[in-house]
Structure 1
Amino acid sequence: MKIDDLFNQIEDILEEGKYPFGGSKVKVDADALRSIINDLRVALPDEVVKARQIASERKTILAQANDSAEVKIRQAEAQARKMVEEHEITKAAQLNASQIITDAKKQAAEIIEKAKANSNEIVDNAQKWATDLRNGASNFVETVMEESDEILSKTMEDLTRNLNSVRQASSKIKTVTVKKAGQ
């Protein structure tokens, strides 16, 4: 029999009891009450054992749940630490990559500037060389032309002198030949 049923029987006995002389005490069937109390004593250990088992199982379940929760918490904390570390590593790698890119761009700009400066210097030198070459060629041509003019002028003077000498000689020869023929 269940304990709840036995307690209900006790309540029934108390309600069926009689109140002598209008007092607050109740007259009950003592034998029936003792029988129920004995039944309670017999049933109570089963109920207590069940309650203790339930309490023990509850403690075990709670302990297991607590252990499982602690394991989950430790795993979550470890995962969080790992994610933070990975995030920090990723962040550091991104910063490093950003710095490398910045340095590479700076070096590329410096290389381009040096290349431009070198090419400008080469172009300037080439233009100077070309100008010097043109000036040298012009000077050479002018010098050659001046020398040629001088030589040509001298040659013309010599030719003119020689031609005049030849004319004079020819005129003298004619005069001598005419004089000899007239003689």
Structure 2
Amino acid sequence: MDVLRLIDEIEDIVEGGSSLPFSSKVMVDKDELLEIIKEIRIKLPDEIKQASWIKEERQRILAEAQKDADTLLNEAENRLEELVEQEEITKKAKERAEEIITKAQNNAKEIRLGSMEYADNLLMETQENLKELIELLNENRKELRGIK
């Protein structure tokens, strides 16, 4: 992650800065730090784009799961119509069709739940990463301003 690398650079600059006697303050190159902060601002949208991609991927997975469920339901309905045409097995055909529909609905539900959980986990991980970045940035800004 580029943003984390840039934050590491800021830490290195602060740690390598010239210490002021009798204080915990250090002198650093202002332009160098501002350049790195500028790069972080440029890179952060990429992190946000990644979160958006995860959201879009979740939607795609859900749509695909719904499409699969619809296909299974259509196949079950088609099979049911074929079986109804045969008089002697009409009752068994209806029972089997209902089993297929129930199974298709259960499969669709499982796929939908699994994909939502997967997408939620990805979003949560990205959110945690962004929280850590924001906290680290806030701490670094406080340090740069001499606030603890």
Larger RCO of the pair (alpha carbons < 8 Å, separation 6+): 2
Same fold (TM over 0.5): no
TM-score, normalization: structure 1?
0.33
- TM-score w.r.t. length of structure 2: 0.38
Greater percentage in helix: 1
